[in-house]
Amino acid sequence: MFRPLRILFSSTKCPPTRRCSAFVSRMRYVNRLKEDDNACAAALQNAHVLLFHRLSPLLRRTERGTLRPAALMCSDVQSVLERLGSDRSLLKESVLIGCSEQNQAQFCLDVGDLDQAAVEAVCEGQFVDMRKAFFLLVGSEAPLVAKAQALLRWHQTSGFCSATGRPTRRNQAGSQRVCSSSGIVYYPKMSPVVIVLVSDGKRCLLGRQSSFPRGMYSALAGFCDMGETLEETLSREVAEEVGLEVHSVSYSSSQHWPFPHSSVMLGCHASVSPAHTQLNVNHAELEDARWFTVEEITSALKVKTPPRRGDPPALWLPPKHAIANHLITEWMDRQRRGEGGE
């Protein structure tokens, strides 16, 4: 799919006594593009570009009926811009998001000033709201699109220095912005969020907010306060939301989460004493919270769509893309292996 881009690595070249892995090669290539504006500008000319319209990604339907990001060659994007009467210099606003396994650079570009329908017609695709697109894409494509949107959003909201009020300017890759007056350097940031699945050894605890789809319950989650460790945030959130004290915290995995803005979800498991499982739900935080058995979770994981209006309420869990689903599935598998006790 991607055409290889031949690169000479100069200072990022591996020592002659040790051969770089493909992963190391790609990471060093991307790092070089972040640090060298000329190399980045040259890479853009042979890159794939993901288009967005006001932060909604452009997707195309495949022959199998699935949706994929429309990765256009830079020359194709230039043609689109010219055809729709836009200045091709808009391409300079493209932001580096990575590279393919063949070391072909990948960029993203928001064309929100152009007519949406016109771009869709020319590109034979559709701009899809990110909340929908994230769960329609498969494999590594969803995280890549989420990363692209997060970087585009950051640039759109970081045009001025918070210390001086003066405009900031970006480097070619879009990996940083610098205050034109003070020289203060700004980098894209994510907010850390702890998401935890609490267990009493035989059941797991799930909660729901009023904004959730009907019947949906998920793991508890909350933003880290300044100065907190992961464990402190986790313990505080569980205490605040359901009135329980946890112990035996273990880390599971993490996920970039693009909603509502850019966060990094830190997934954990935690346990409470079977003798202290009485819930005291903080209704300012949660609409409801309940304990669920492994049988209830097993049945719920088989439900693919939320219940329709008029149907009896049914437990519906977050989709597979969500780290909450991963935590719940991990817990269920442990229960089946007889590892429920912490």
Q: Report the pLDDT value the prediction gives residue 313, as an integer from 0 to 100.
A: 66
Span 130-154, pLDDT tens digits? 999 998 898 789 999 999 999 999 9
Span 278-337, pLDDT tens digits? 999 999 999 999 999 999 999 999 887 666 776 666 789 998 889 999 999 999 999 998
Measured over the CA atoms of residue 37, residue 41, residue 43 and residue 47, the dihedral's sign is positive
Give, in degrees to the nearest 5, the angle at Cα 147 between 103 and 209.
155
Q: In the predicted model, is pLDDT for residue 340 greater than 70?
A: no
Q: Report the pLDDT value the prediction gives residue 304, as an integer from 0 to 100.
A: 72
Residue with more model confidence, 1 or 65: 65
Span 200-223, pLDDT tens digits? 999 999 999 999 988 899 999 999
List the domains of the chain with CATH numbers. Answer: 10-156 (3.90.79), 158-188 (no CATH), 191-336 (3.90.79.10)
Span 170-202, pLDDT tens digits? 999 999 999 999 999 999 999 999 999 999 999
Torsion angle, alpha carbons of 28, 32, 33, 38, to 10: -150
Per-residue confidence band for 33, with pLDDT thresholds at 50, 70 and 90: very high
Per-residue confidence band for 7, with pLDDT thresholds at 50, 70 and 90: very low
Considering only CA atoms, which of 137, 118, 280, 307 is closest in space to residue 214? 307
3-state secondary structure of 200: coil
Q: Report the pLDDT value the prediction gives residue 8, as an integer from 0 to 100.
A: 31
CA atoms within 13 A on the CB side of 316: 16
> Counting beta carbons within 10 angstroms of the beta carbon of residue 6, is it exposed (0 to 12), middle (13 to 18) or buried (19 or more)?
exposed
